[in-house]
Amino acid sequence: MSQRDRQLLLAHLLGVKAPELYLKMEEEVPLQLLEEYEKSIKKLEEGYPLQYLIGEWDFYGRTFKVAEGVLIPRSETELLVEKTLELLDSRRDYTGLEIGVGSGCIAITLLLERERLFMYGTDINPKALELTRINAENYGVSQRLKLLQGKDFEPVKGLRFDFVVSNPPYIPEGLWETLPEGVKLEGKDALIGGKKGWEFYERFAQQVGDFLKENGFFVLEIGHDQGQIVQELLKDYSPKIFKDYSGQDRVVVGWKS
Ligand SMILES: C[S@@+](CC[C@H](N)C(=O)[O-])C[C@H]1O[C@@H](n2cnc3c(N)ncnc32)[C@H](O)[C@@H]1O
């Protein structure tokens, strides 16, 4: 376990932010807290995610509540946010949709970065919707976020959006058993895309045209080896693939023209 993880755990137990740990250096640590620290270290060594232990994680410079059964925000997903923000003029009104909000980190970040934006957010998992609701409330954006439960575009039938974003599950079913136990705690629905892994993009390609306004766009996260197949599936939308900081295919952007 890294020194950084130990610091984050200790800061959490002491009720401070990690950079403030030094303020506590001279203070005596109560025995009960030490015992809890030791217990937590053991859990972490057994593979339990630090993020679930401390109940929060950072995304795009802000802290979001996280909980078992809901995906932990990943730093590589920040690229999806960056690409979306590049396409959103801060002086214009937009209505966007996020399919599969999870903790809400994407939709809430977009709302905080663009104050004239209104978002719809969907998820099949009620626990994810509840976590998003809490995070949205903490960041004061609940009034601009409508949450709905359901699969794909089903909860927003009849509506049209300026843009759609999603970080869908895209791991092939066959890899589930190979995932570390700690990762499995994030839930099969959050990670597994189907037999091939890319089933979401197949369904998305068939439906997205009906849900985008003219000149609307979408930004989707993809698996590192899915650039080619996703480009083929979404060929009617002039798709462009972007690589993440480690040089892997990570995001596809497309337009309805
Ligand atoms: C990979 S997680 C992404 C969560 C969050 N947006 C993020 O980036 O951290 C995928 C999310 O989509 C939800 N989901 C999976 N399949 C879905 C579907 N067909 N329609 C709507 N939501 C779905 C899962 O429950 C999960 O919360």
pLDDT tens per residue across span 2-51: 889 999 999 999 989 888 888 887 888 889 999 999 999 999 999 999 99
Residue 107 alpha carbon to ligand 1 centre in Å: 12
pLDDT value of position 23: 82
Atom 14 of ligand 1, residue of closest alpha carbon: 100
Which residue ranges make up each domain of the chain? Answer: 3-46, 69-255
**Mean pLDDT score of the chain:** 96
- 109/27: higher pLDDT: 109
* Residue 96 marked in a binding site: no
Query: What is the sign, positive or negative, of the torsion defined by CA atoms of 236, 237, 238, 241?
Result: negative
Cβ–ligand 1 contact at 73 (below 6 Å): yes
Cβ–ligand 1 contact at 8 (below 6 Å): no
Which numbered atom of ligand 1 lies nearest the CA of 77?
A: 8
Q: 69-255 belongs to which CATH class?
A: alpha beta
Residue 24 alpha carbon to ligand 1 centre in Å: 39
Atom 23 of ligand 1, residue of closest alpha carbon: 100
pLDDT value of position 20: 87
pLDDT value of position 28: 85
pLDDT in tens, 115-128: 999 999 999 999 99
Residue 233 alpha carbon to ligand 1 centre in Å: 20
- The residues that bridge with 244 in the sheet, in sequence order, are none
**136-140, long-range: CB < 8 A, 24+ apart:** 136/104, 136/107, 136/108, 136/111, 138/65, 139/62, 139/108, 139/111, 139/112
pLDDT in tens, 208-235: 999 999 999 999 999 999 999 999 999 9
Residue 168 alpha carbon to ligand 1 centre in Å: 5
Buried b (16+ CB within 10 A) or exposed e, 78-109: bbbbebbeeebeeeeebbbbbbbbbbbbbbbb
pLDDT value of position 26: 82
